[in-house]
């Protein structure tokens, strides 16, 4: 059934008159049939249209308001109507989708999309990652959306949206989908302790959880889980990049102590040992000492250093080695960082991510081919990728964003404020999953760095409801509107069985 007719416009801005009674929604997908094939279009704006002049419309409205008149327009269905502005998305012919290069004919009918229209998405792809179901406006279509998970995770993912729009649910879905796969290991820094699911559904409920999920926590580990503890001797000065804002003299002192005392450099600073032929200002060492003690929760009693936190002088020597080994075995490793300060959480992530990248860099090409992708999941990404942070110097997370893809190490960054991340970093995030965002600067930052042209999608992004998203990816041939399934339903419906179909989008 026709929902409207093409009446004018230009490429990327096609004007369609809506058929009375057939409501067209913002973000809705519509099809126009042509002799060259089907043209898939999407609504990006809605406006009123009328055959009556503005003066006459004002007169009629005045009579109804002021005179309580029941005056009716002559043929109201013909004289007043809704106009939809549509952009070309794809040309579909013989179950193949290509970039659009033509306009539909004048007075072409546009209709609702059907599952059959997306038969080009049924090609089997390797390492399929389920994102959600295709959406047309607010209507969910029975068309599952998949991308090549290995490519998506190695080339970085940015998940952005206002609080309450479903970022955590989406991340839970992605983690659930890769647990039983062999192409990817996930390192999750979990500041809210929500993904493992201590007291609710979570990764612990997956059928493969015992073999493929490691959970580290500093407090009362559940049976089969591990206590989070790191050895101080494994810390190096560069691990503090992006964690502590050192001055130049302080940075020089850190590196000098590391060069002189190696693994004992932190304890040497705390005990105020001297370095041969080098003399630092007493205030510089005092500030470094105070900051290290606060950050690492250390106490000094005469010549004895006692540890009150997760960093220990004797314990935790095998923690990093065990975590990296699990990641290389394509496991999901979840670190409960809910009890730590922001700086401690970033330090933990820096410690492990540095080891992962260094190890993958040392593999030769053939060895690296056999390794799974490792993706580091970090919430509130501007803490480590923000402009102000990077102006003070690079850290391991920005290094991964720029060059990690070459070594199969990626980032999955979650944020409400993408505008705080430099454009060069945003451009390297090759898959963006955009949930509802009301603030215009945030929408603009995403539009300017998206893999597809989203220049007309400003209103569409602002109108996204909870659980609705737009996926813009280098590995998809159009920006896909999706409906994110609720995590509890995904688990209860056994969606992991459904994902084994491996259907998806092949660019």
Note the pLDDT of residue 50: 86
Asked if residue 505 is part of any domain, the answer here is: no
Q: Are 350 and 242 in contact (CB under 8 A)?
A: yes
Asked if residue 349 is part of any domain, the answer here is: yes
- Given 261, 290, 311, which residue is the final one in a domain? 311
Q: Do 53 and 193 fall within a single domain?
A: no
Q: Do 356 and 489 fall within a single domain?
A: yes
Dist CA 212 CA 224 (whole Å): 12
Q: Do 191 and 237 fall within a single domain?
A: no
- Over the stretch 63-100, which tens digit does the pLDDT of each residue have? 778 776 666 656 667 778 899 999 999 999 988 899 98
Q: Do 376 and 294 fall within a single domain?
A: no
The domain total for the chain is: 3
Note the pLDDT of residue 59: 79
Note the pLDDT of residue 34: 87
The whole domain housing 247 covers: 233-311
Asked if residue 163 is part of any domain, the answer here is: no
Asked if residue 256 is part of any domain, the answer here is: yes
Query: Largest Cα–Cα distance in the chain?
Result: 98
Q: Are 32 and 24 in contact (CB under 8 A)?
A: no
Rounded to the nearest angstrom, the gap between the alpha carbon of residue 483 and the centroid of all alpha carbons in its chain is 15
Q: Do 341 and 474 fall within a single domain?
A: yes
Asked if residue 376 is part of any domain, the answer here is: yes
Both tokens of residue 97? 């989708």
Asked if residue 161 is part of any domain, the answer here is: no
Q: Do 248 and 329 fall within a single domain?
A: no
Q: Do 343 and 489 fall within a single domain?
A: yes
Asked if residue 251 is part of any domain, the answer here is: yes
- Given 81, 113, 145, which residue is the final one in a domain? 113
Note the pLDDT of residue 436: 93
Q: Do 337 and 464 fall within a single domain?
A: yes
Q: Do 276 and 383 fall within a single domain?
A: no
List of long-range contacts for 207-214, beta carbons under 8 Å, 24+ apart: 207/180, 207/496, 208/179, 208/180, 209/179, 212/179, 212/180, 212/330, 212/331, 212/332, 213/179, 213/331, 213/332, 213/333, 213/334, 214/322, 214/323, 214/326, 214/331, 214/332, 214/333, 214/334
- Given 265, 294, 311, which residue is the final one in a domain? 311
Q: Do 282 and 176 fall within a single domain?
A: no
172: Cβ contacts below 8 Å, ≥ 6 apart = 194, 195, 202, 203, 487
Q: Do 79 and 147 fall within a single domain?
A: no
Asked if residue 160 is part of any domain, the answer here is: no
pLDDT of 501 strictly over 50: no
Task: Give the pTM.
Answer: 0.90
Q: Do 197 and 339 fall within a single domain?
A: yes
pLDDT of 123 strictly over 90: no
- Over the stretch 438-481, which tens digit does the pLDDT of each residue have? 999 999 999 999 999 999 999 999 999 999 999 999 999 899 99
């Amino acid at each position: 059934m026709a929902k409207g007719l093409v009446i004018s416009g230009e490429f990327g801005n096609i004007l369609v008159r809506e058929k009375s009674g057939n409501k067209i929604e913002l973000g809705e997908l519509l099809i126009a049939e042509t002799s060259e094939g089907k043209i898939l279009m999407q609504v990006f704006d809605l406006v009123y249209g009328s055959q009556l002049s503005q003066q006459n419309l004002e007169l009629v409205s005045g009579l109804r308001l002021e005179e309580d008149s029941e005056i009716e327009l002559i043929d109201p269905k013909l004289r007043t109507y809704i106009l939809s502005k549509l952009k070309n998305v794809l040309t579909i012919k013989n179950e193949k989708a290509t970039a659009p290069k033509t306009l539909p004919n004048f007075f072409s009918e546009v209709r609702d999309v059907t599952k059959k229209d997306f038969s080009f998405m049924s090609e089997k792809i390797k390492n399929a990652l389920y994102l959600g179901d295709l959406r047309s406006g607010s209507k969910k279509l029975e068309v599952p959306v998949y991308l090549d998970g290995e490519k998506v995770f190695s080339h970085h993912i940015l998940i952005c949206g206002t609080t309450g729009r479903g970022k955590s649910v989406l991340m839970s879905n992605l983690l659930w989908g890769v647990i039983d796969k062999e192409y990817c290991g996930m390192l999750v820094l979990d500041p809210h302790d929500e993904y493992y699911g201590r007291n609710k559904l979570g990764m612990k409920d997956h059928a493969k959880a015992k073999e493929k999920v490691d959970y580290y926590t500093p407090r009362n580990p559940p049976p089969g889980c591990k206590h989070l503890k790191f050895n101080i001797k494994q810390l190096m000065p560069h691990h503090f990049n992006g964690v502590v804002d050192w001055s130049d003299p302080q940075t020089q002192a850190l590196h000098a102590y590391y060069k002189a005392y190696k693994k004992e450099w932190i304890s040497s600073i705390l005990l105020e040992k001297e370095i041969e032929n080098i003399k630092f200002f007493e205030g510089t060492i005092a500030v470094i000492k105070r900051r290290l003690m606060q950050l690492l929760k250390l106490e000094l009693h005469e010549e004895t250093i006692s540890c009150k936190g997760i960093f220990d002088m004797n314990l935790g020597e095998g923690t990093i080695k065990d975590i990296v080994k699990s990641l290389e075995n394509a496991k999901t490793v979840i670190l409960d960082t809910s009890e730590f300060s922001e700086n401690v959480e970033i330090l933990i992530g820096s410690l492990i991510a540095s080891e992962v990248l260094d190890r993958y860099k040392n593999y030769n090409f053939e060895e690296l081919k056999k390794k799974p992708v490792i993706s580091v999941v970090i919430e509130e990404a501007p803490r480590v990728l923000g402009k102000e942070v990077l102006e003070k110097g690079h850290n391991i997370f920005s290094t991964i964003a720029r060059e990690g893809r070459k070594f199969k190490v990626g980032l999955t960054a979650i944020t409400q404020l993408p505008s705080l991340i430099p454009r060069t970093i945003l451009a390297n995030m090759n898959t963006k999953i955009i949930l509802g965002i009301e603030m215009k600067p945030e929408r603009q930052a995403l539009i300017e760095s998206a893999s597809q042209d989203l220049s007309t999608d400003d209103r569409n992004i602002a109108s996204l409801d909870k659980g609705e998203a737009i996926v813009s990816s280098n590995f998809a041939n159009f920006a896909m509107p999706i409906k994110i399934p609720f995590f509890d339903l995904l688990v209860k419906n056994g969606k992991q069985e459904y994902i084994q179909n491996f259907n998806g989008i092949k660019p």
